[in-house]
Structure 1
Amino acid sequence: MARIGYARVSSLDQDLEGQLARLKTEGCGVIRAEKVSGGSREGRAELATVLEFLRPGDELVVTRLDRLGRDTRDVLNLIHEAEQRGAFVTVLDPHVSTRGEMGHVVLTVLGMVAQMERRFIKERQREGIERAKEVGAYKGGKPRLDHDRIRALHFAGSGPAEIARAVGCSRMQVYRVIRV
């Protein structure tokens, strides 16, 4: 029986260290971590790896339920997949495990709360953006690429691959900018 930890944060600027330390303290011999949104299972390679390698008697450990996902259906499907492999899921905060029947009920409720919380966050964010737009304070997200530099390099005769290397993006992004 192995205790396998899974840690996740939503964005690159967030820190995994607190989750990793807690999982190590809890005795997880293997810990997989990633920086990706929990809104869906898309692009969550580390989680897929953990699920694939769960064996009967293993325990998947997360610090909080929302680390598994923000959608109730996804969380319940993850728990079901772990159980199909004969493994258990344990959430450390609050401490709940699927080893007992009551754990399933509590995890279902916590999953619904996580999904509801995600909806509230999105709603508050949308309202905040609308208020900022009304007063002229909202400028949109930070530009990810320097479009002027890409165009300048293009007009100077640089090819898309060379521009992509210089700017640190893909050729497809270069094509999109120079097409406009």
Structure 2
Amino acid sequence: MKKVVIFARVSSSNGSQDYERQINDLQVLASTNNWTVEAVFAEKISGAKKNADRTELMNMIDYINTHNINKVLVTELSRLGRDTLQVLQAIEMLNQNKVSVFIQNYNIETLTSEGEINPMSQFLITILAEVARMERKTIRERVASGYQNFRSNGGKVGRKVGYTKSDEAMKEEYAEEIRLLKKGYSLRNIAKLTNTSINTLRKLNHLT
């Protein structure tokens, strides 16, 4: 019998009944498929946060890694995260750990029974990745335009020559990354969770 966990998410502006609907729907799904629900994780979140700052998501990942969970059940893909990048990072990390995500409204899983990427889910994820790429491209273009206008008006950008961050400043800025390093997460998984470069994570190793 497959061991699964349920993950639910609502905006902080919604009531607790939304949790109940998602959880009840997924419990029925699990019962129909003879899956054993080992745990339920639910978060109420407002505003965009890094995955590493999402307590319930991180608790779920810790639980999965220590309880041999086969699947994560969600009612829809957006329940894994508020924005596309969060969703893609979470799915990729779970896939690498051979944990499949079952998306109820599409009735598909991210992995096959052999633990390989499901082609249909990969198609969906590829579309989402392209959307995320376009969003990041738009942001970069806006930032570049702002920098250009700033320079045109005599402004200077960049750090002062010889500037380096102190260890204390690094600890404050990368507190979540350091916490994950101490817990033994791989650099690749932390990079996917936090969107922090692997080179930066290597530099943080001496602070753990």
Coarse TM-score class (shorter-chain normalised): 0.5 to 0.7
SS in 2 for 1:48: helix
Q: Report what 1:79 is aligned to.
A: 91
| Backbone CA RMSD of aligned residues | 2.7
Question: Any gaps of 5 or more consecutive residues in structure 1?
Answer: 117-180
Of 70, 76, 95, which aligns to 2:82? 70
Aligned residue in 2 for 1:33:
42
Q: What is the one-letter code of the residue matched to 2:108? A: V
Matches of 1:9 and 1:115 in 2, distance apart? 25
Q: TM-score, normalised by structure 1?
A: 0.55
Distance change >3 Å, CA 70–CA 112, structure 1 → 2: farther
Change over 3 Å in CA distance of 1:77–1:70 after alignment to 2: same
Shift, 1:48, TM fit = 0.8
CA distance in 2, matches of 1:63, 1:38: 21
**In structure 2, what is the equivalent of residue 8 of structure 1?**
9
**Does 2:47 match 1:44?**
no
1:109 and 2:109 aligned = no
Runs of 4 or more, structure 1, over 4 Å off, are 110-116
Q: Which amino acid aligns with 2:78?
A: D
Which is worse superposed, 83-92 or 39-48? 39-48
With structure 2 as the length reference, what TM-score do the two structures score? 0.48
Once residues 25 and 113 of structure 1 are traced to their aligned partners in structure 2, the CA distance between those partners, rounded to angstroms, is 32
After superposition, the Cα gap between the structure-2 partners of 1:16 and 1:59, relative to the gap in structure 1 and judged at 3 Å, is same
Report the identity percentage: 33
Residue type of the alignment partner of 1:54:
I
Q: How many aligned residue pairs are there? A: 116
CA distance in 2, matches of 1:30, 1:59: 11
Query: C-alpha distance in 2, partners of 1:106/1:45?
Result: 27
User: Are the counterparts in 2 of residues 70 and 111 from structure 1 also a CA contact under 8 Å?
Assistant: no
Match of 2:46, SS? coil
* Aligned 8 A contact 1:76 1:108 in 2: no
Alpha-carbon distance in structure 2 between the residues aligned to 1:35 and 1:115:
27
CA distance in 1, matches of 2:47, 2:58: 13
Instruction: Say whether 1:20 aligns with 2:23.
Output: yes
Encode CA deviations 1:60-104: one digit per residue, 9 max, x unaligned. Answer: 111011111132222111111112211111111122211212212
One-letter identity of the residue aligned with 1:52: D
Distance 1:32 1:110, change over 3 A: same
Q: In the aligned structure 2, how far is the partner of 1:34 from the partner of 1:84?
A: 23
Q: In 2, are the aligned partners of 1:57 and 1:86 still within 8 Å (CA)?
A: no
- Counterpart of 1:50, as a letter, is M
Cα separation, 2, equivalents of 1:38 and 1:54: 26
Residue by residue over 1:2-55, the C-alpha shift from the partner in whole angstroms, topping out at 9 and shown as x without a partner, is 111100101153331110111211223321112113733264211111122225
**Gaps in structure 2 of 5+ consecutive residues:** 31-36, 112-117, 135-208
Name the structure, 1 or 2, with higher relative contact order (CA <8 Å, separation 6+): 2
